[in-house]
Amino acid sequence: MRKSILFITLVFFAAVSLAAQDMAVATVRLEKTEPISNRQLDQTIQAIEQQQGRTLNDTERKEVLDQLIDQVLIIQAAEADRNIIVTDEEVEQASMRLLSQQLQSMGAIPPGAVLTDKIQYRQVVEQQGVSIQEYEKTVRNQLLAEKYITSSDQASFQAIGPATEAELNAEYQRRVSEFVVSDSVWFNQIFFNTSNSTPAEVRAKNEKAREVYRRLMNSPATFAELVASESEDDVSKARGGLIGPVMKGDFVAEQLYGADFMNKVFTIDVGKVSDVLKSNVGYHIVQITEKKAAQLLPKEDTEVRSYLEQIIYAGKYQQKFDEVTRTAIAELRGRSTINYFGDYR
């Protein structure tokens, strides 16, 4: 059961908010006195039990409490160290990377893919019932802890070498099922946004989309010209309306667009233009530019190789991180005051 200090923060969207009146099961003092509440402990245990699909025994519950105490010690030490700085930009980037890794493990996005759309990122987080502020606070604490540990023994981390070909081959074989990529489609779109619109505004956008479609079909105006003059998606408009690749069964895309829209774009032939299509976010006129059938990505694929290298490095890094963390925790516990209450006394 015993894991590294960051294990708890990596539990998918573990609860972090507390009730001020909740009874403490422990207090920790390094730089300041900080309680760990019974509710915080129970929420963390529940998140771990849900992830592992089993009930933790009393010894394991005590280990979780000790991990929470260790986290508090490291974060207090990191916050007191003026050389350790975590910026808002670092937090946002790390949050999107962490969410991407979690979505990869669920099979929701392809291996090596990283979320870059901030709107999608926020939507996926909030769909789990967690605010962006809570999620990013957890990630900020993780970054503080990581910077504190790595700065305490920089030479050990710098000595971690790159993955060898033998390691890459072995890791690819272990994970080969992850590299089966679903059918994919690319399309240009003329988009009419209905997010946060009233019913009357939605009807007006529908009529505008149909009027633009009629112009496309019955006037000399080209698809590219209408993208430039009418589309309400500035990001895709800058590249001619291009969206893709969109994978069949893509969790993030289906949450954004809806299953009906996704099913329809995969039925349209390359080069063809759709009628007005409705999605969760608006109305679209799409022109299919490319389709690819499901395939097994080879180890030599740039994204696959990068993904494997990251996985192997992460394993070596985690092993070294655990070693250095144990040493740092022992030192911090030696100069801190920790009190246990109730069943954990």
Indicate the range of 2-16, 134-148, 196-210 predicted with least confidence.
2-16
Residue 306's pLDDT is 94
pLDDT tier for residue 311 given thresholds of 50, 70 and 90: very high
Both tokens of residue 319? 């092993």
Whether 333 has a pLDDT exceeding 80, the answer reads yes
Residue 208's pLDDT is 97
As beta bridge partners, residue 29 has 33, 337
Q: What is the DSSP letter of 280?
A: S
Residue 119's pLDDT is 84
Q: What is the DSSP letter of 54?
A: S
Whether 21 has a pLDDT exceeding 90, the answer reads no
Whether 11 has a pLDDT exceeding 60, the answer reads no
Which of 244 and 127 is assigned the larger pLDDT? 244
Residue 299 burial class via C-beta count within 10 angstroms: exposed 0-12, middle 13-18, buried 19 and up: middle
Residue 184 phi/psi, 5-degree rounding, is -135, 155
pLDDT in tens, 38-83: 999 999 999 899 989 999 999 999 999 999 999 999 999 999 999 9
Residue 106's pLDDT is 73
Residue 100's pLDDT is 86
Q: Which residue has the tokens 């290298």?
A: 309
- What is the residue-wise DSSP string for 71-84? HHHHHHHHHH-TT-
Q: What is the DSSP letter of 342?
A: G
Strands 282-292 and 295-296: unpaired
Output the CA–CA distances (angstroms, integers) from residue 299 to 79, 104, 121, 178, 292, in the order listed: 42, 17, 28, 11, 19
The closest alpha carbon to 286, from 297, 294, 277, belongs to 277
How far apart CA 168 and CA 105 sit, in angstroms, is 19
Report the residue count for the chain: 345
Whether 202 has a pLDDT exceeding 90, the answer reads yes
As beta bridge partners, residue 188 has 242, 287
Angle between helices 199-218 and 223-230 (to 10 degrees): 150
pLDDT in tens, 239-250: 999 999 999 988
The full set of domains in the chain, from first to last, is: 8-160+303-344 (1.10.4030.10), 183-293 (3.10.50.40)
Q: What is the DSSP letter of 343?
A: G
Whether 128 has a pLDDT exceeding 70, the answer reads yes
Which of 186 and 108 is assigned the larger pLDDT? 186
Mean pLDDT, range 146-151, rounded to an integer: 94
Output the CA–CA distances (angstroms, integers) from residue 49 to 8, 39, 60, 164, 333, in the order listed: 12, 15, 11, 36, 27
Whether 321 has a pLDDT exceeding 70, the answer reads yes
Is the four-CA dihedral 83, 89, 95, 97 of positive or negative sign? Answer: negative
How far apart CA 247 and CA 257 sit, in angstroms, is 12
Whether 12 has a pLDDT exceeding 50, the answer reads no
Which of 119 and 37 is assigned the larger pLDDT? 37
SS3 call for 187 = strand
Residue 18's pLDDT is 41
Mean pLDDT, range 191-210, rounded to an integer: 96
CB distance 124 to 137 below 8 Å: no
Whether 3 has a pLDDT exceeding 70, the answer reads no
pLDDT tier for residue 265 given thresholds of 50, 70 and 90: very high
Is the four-CA dihedral 163, 168, 174, 176 of positive or negative sign? Answer: positive
Residue 6's pLDDT is 43
SS3 call for 221 = coil
Indicate the range of 16-20, 180-184, 205-209, 265-269 predicted with least confidence.
16-20
CB distance 56 to 48 below 8 Å: yes
- pTM: predicted TM-score of the whole model, two decimal places: 0.55
Chain mean position to CA 133: 14
Residue 250's pLDDT is 87
User: To 5 degrees, how large is the angle CA 18–CA 24–CA 28?
Assistant: 100
How far apart CA 28 and CA 214 sit, in angstroms, is 68
CB distance 144 to 84 below 8 Å: yes
Residue 20's pLDDT is 39
Chain mean position to CA 210: 36
How far apart CA 189 and CA 209 sit, in angstroms, is 11
